[in-house]
A and B are shown apart, each in its own frame.
Chain A
């Protein structure tokens, strides 16, 4: 397992470790919001397996402010930053930096790590993971040739489906739990807040301008809340970098007579103090950011507006009191490096809709299908998706559409993939309803069956060619030319799969996943590698078949429904 890391002699002394607790080390060097969601998964791990020692390696600037949470979950926390390895001293050399890194790795080796779980998926975390001595490594690593290596299936899923696309129907906290090998369970329900504080926490900012509205839109929302709810106050929260924008909001002409009811604590609180503020609020409203995740931790109802690069299904606050409003914009969600001048997704969510939803929640009502159909103009709903958090019967977090007859083809596939990957990777039979189709999605889905059939057939060819190679190798004098020709055919299959992906983009998750599985084939010789290749094609066929069955069932449900309504019309 330690392809790169130096041998740790302690790891080779099983007798010494016999009575010691097993140590799991979680490596998470991304931002505060991701850290909070990592904590939510780790909390379940610690509660389910109190016998393990849990340690965390995180970036100092993000993890230090979360000490008040991490101290209850982790037995030890290692904070890293470039200052740990580099210094501004005049004579500081590269050798000194290497010594500092060595000292850090030696400290870690003393922890006798049984499993190192890298949840960050960045180059930095991958290189660090490769250097840390551990018996088992999950998540991204680099092999001795500097190539990315991911052994475990759920991490391969993150690398292919979460990093590379937007069709993941599973929340990151759930995926982290699945990487840990935990049985799905709902987060512990913290004591429900029964007091009405008449206070709303609003966080109109985020880490990137793609992910948040301009202040003018928020000014309108705040104005309407304060007008509609004369007893309520608003607490405006954010970091130091948001100070100017927060002043723009409270000093705006629109809010001139109402600013006494806005408590602007932007840049004034630590994250721990912010969590205390959240406990004195009735609801959190804002964009996807760490504040929403902290609100979920504090069990405060959340209404999140997802824009730009945000993948709501993966990162919305992880608790059952979450609502999410996302645009239906074709390019949403985008990727951070994609340039955007129009911010169309920002204009596709009308702020009046947000106010109607806030009013509904402050009146103690839920945002339901009947509320949307009876109280909201179809013009306001046409370009948005309104989602409500729930847990499926299997206790897996589910962000479901409030109006189930409003599925786009993308949403339909997201549901199918949720079924398929949970079953394929963890043998979990998900029990949520199949999506309801309309004429347009019916036709779209029907068209996709062709692409899926092609993908299935290619995988079957892949199996056949792998089998031919194995047969040829088994002969006393294998024909190398024949083996090479068969290998080229397998390469051709890979290229054809990419073509299918380009023609049927909603099949990308399958092609991408198996491409990652192929690049991590197990085996040390041509026979083992070909056997692994055969298994990968077999798995590919298996997932295609599962998806095909789901599509068939969904199409058939639609046909039955249409025939029934036709029949009823004829009878009339």
Chain B
């Protein structure tokens, strides 16, 4: 899971770069944004439980 997390974070950085350059985001970019976001949200939830 940590490996995929790393890959997603790398991809997320690329999407954020595209977004800040003012370029349009694609469906694929939004998929990354969502996957990164749900992964982070659940990790926070998990750490809060602990």
Interfacial residues of chain B within 1-50, with CB under 8 A of chain A in the complex: 1, 4, 7-8, 11, 15, 19, 22-25, 27-31, 33-35, 37-39, 41-42, 45, 49
Q: Which residues on A sit within 8 Å (CB–CB) of B23?
A: 145
Q: Which of A90-98, A149-157, A386-394, A526-534 contacts B (4 or more CB under 8 A)?
A: A90-98
With most chain B CB atoms within 10 A of its CB, the pick from A61, A93, A94, A122 is A94
Residues from chain A with a CB closer than 8 A to the CB of B30 are: 4, 127, 130-131, 142
Say which residue of A4, A85, A92 sits within 8 Å of B35 (CB atoms).
Answer: A85
A122 surroundings in chain B (CB, below 8 A)? 41
A88 to B24, CA, bound (A): 32
Residues of B within 8 A of A93 (CB): 4, 7
B37 touches A123 (CB 8 A): yes
On whether the beta carbons of B41 and A124 are closer than 8 Å, the reply is: yes
Which residues on the A side are within 8 Å of B34 (C-beta)? 101, 124, 127-128, 131
A residues 103-147 with Cβ under 8 Å of B?
122-124, 127-128, 130-131, 142, 144-146
Apart from A122-B41, A131-B27, 16 more pairs, CB < 8 Å: A6-B27, A82-B38, A86-B4, A86-B39, A88-B1, A92-B4, A97-B8, A124-B38, A127-B30, A131-B30, A144-B24, A145-B24, A146-B15, A146-B25, A146-B33, A241-B49
- Complex contacts, B24 vs chain A, CB 8 Å: 144-145
- A–B complex contacts, Cβ < 8 Å, 25 sampled: A80-B38, A81-B38, A81-B42, A85-B35, A85-B38, A86-B39, A93-B4, A94-B4, A94-B7, A97-B4, A97-B35, A101-B35, A123-B37, A124-B34, A124-B37, A124-B41, A127-B30, A130-B30, A142-B30, A144-B24, A145-B23, A145-B25, A146-B19, A146-B29, A146-B33
CA distance A140 to B35 in the complex (A): 17
**A321 within 8 Å of B by Cβ?**
no
Chain A residues, Cβ within 8 Å of B39: 82, 86
Which of chain A's residues have a CB closer than 8 A to the CB of B38?
Answer: 80-82, 85, 124, 128
A258 interfacial contact with B, CB 8 Å? no
